[in-house]
Amino acid sequence: MTSLTSTYHRDTYPTISPTNPSLNQTGKTILITGGGGGLGFHIARSFSQAGASRIIIVSRRLEFLQETAEKLRAEFEPGGLETETGTRTRIEFVAREVNLLDESSVTSLWEFLNSELGVVVDVLVLNAAYRYKRLGTDVLNMDVRELEEAFGINVTGNFLMVQKFIKQPRALGGKKGLNVVNVSSASIQIHGANAPVEYTVTKSTFTQIMGRLADQLPVTDVQIVSFHPGLLYAEEAAKRWDKSSRNWDEMALPADFAVWAASSEASWLHGRYVWAHWDVEELKENISKRVEEEHGFLKIGVEGLPTTYLQAHG
């Protein structure tokens, strides 16, 4: 397996635990796309454990979202969460339908959040993705409609979400410290991966867009981190494989990693792409200097050619 650290995690560990005080999300509003089940549900749980004040889960399936929100309420609302000072705080869970293929639906979501609900989202987790209908990498016979749908969700829809997030009223104007966590995929870097090409190229495209956006926004305003979540036995995987057929990663690993990626502990990875498997302490010790010195390191580029950064000349 690809790894920049000698330790390769398959499950969560103390450094990225949402109960770690350095990752505390108290007072923050978290928005998770694709939040109805699978990894999205577990990410919502992890941010809840980290003390977030409000968790907003969105997807195209409202009934599924509402069931998920009820599960979260049943787990976290009865007694609330105990804070470091010994008081107890309650978490608000909001389920909202959105179609990333429909710009008006995305606009409506943000109007509801910023105007009707009256909140500014602090952390945007981009977990929703195009659901491919078959495996295989036959480029020539790719269905153009599937390619368009993949771009519509993985690129255009996700970009609209980021654009609305950063341009929220009172966001950059007075409230700093926003965070974008992009759930990417190892298929963007692995040649011969069995994921359909429309999924791979759109995941790669959006991850590169996030890297370019990070070039233009200081980490103190908006922190952006992309990561590969691992091999997960979620809804789509269950349709194709028996659970005993592979060595699956535990959902808690990427879910907790998402919380870490939304904290100041990950600020040095602004604009970069990493794997949830890599030990974050080793990663910082081993490559933080290289990240600082090499502008294109851990960003999308051309294999065999150095990623260069051209300064504008007046």
Summarised one tens digit per residue, pLDDT across range 181-233 is: 999 999 999 876 677 889 999 999 999 999 999 999 999 999 999 999 999 86
Tell me phi and psi for residue 155, to 5 degrees: -115, -70
Catalytic residue among 199, 263, 273, 299: 199
Range 246-267 average pLDDT:
96
Averaged pLDDT of the chain: 89
10-14, 36-40, 67-71, 84-88: lowest mean pLDDT where? 84-88
Catalytic residue among 17, 184, 204, 263: 184
Q: Which region holds residue 136: left if phi is over 0, alpha if psi is between -120 and 50, else beta?
A: left
59 as an active site residue: the answer is: no
- Integer Cα distance of 105 and 139 in angstroms: 31
Residue 171 tokens read as 């966001």
Domain boundary assignment for the chain: 14-293
How many CB atoms neighbour CB 310 within 10 A? 5
State which CATH number among 3.90.105.10, 3.40.50.720, 3.30.460.80, 3.30.1360.20 fits the domain covering 14-293.
3.40.50.720
pLDDT of residue 208: 97
28 as an active site residue: the answer is: no
pLDDT of residue 218: 96
199 as an active site residue: the answer is: yes
Confirm if 66 and 93 have CB atoms less than 8 A apart.
no
60-74, 163-177, 274-288: lowest mean pLDDT where? 163-177
What length does the chain have? 314
Q: Which of 39, 32, 45 is nearest to 72 (CA)?
A: 45
Summarised one tens digit per residue, pLDDT across range 263-304 is: 999 999 999 999 999 999 999 999 999 999 999 999 998 878
Query: Looking at the predicted structure, is the pLDDT value of residue 238 above 50?
Result: yes
Query: Looking at the predicted structure, is the pLDDT value of residue 311 above 60?
Result: no
pLDDT of residue 305: 80
Confirm if 127 and 32 have CB atoms less than 8 A apart.
yes
Whole-model pTM over 0.85? yes
Catalytic residue among 203, 226, 263, 273: 203
- Integer Cα distance of 82 and 129 in angstroms: 34
Q: For the chain, give the percent of residues with pLDDT over 70.
A: 87
Summarised one tens digit per residue, pLDDT across range 122-162 is: 999 999 998 877 677 678 888 899 999 999 999 999 999 99
- Integer Cα distance of 246 and 112 in angstroms: 42
In whole angstroms, how far apart are CA 92 and each of 37, 50, 53, 199, 252?
18, 14, 6, 33, 22
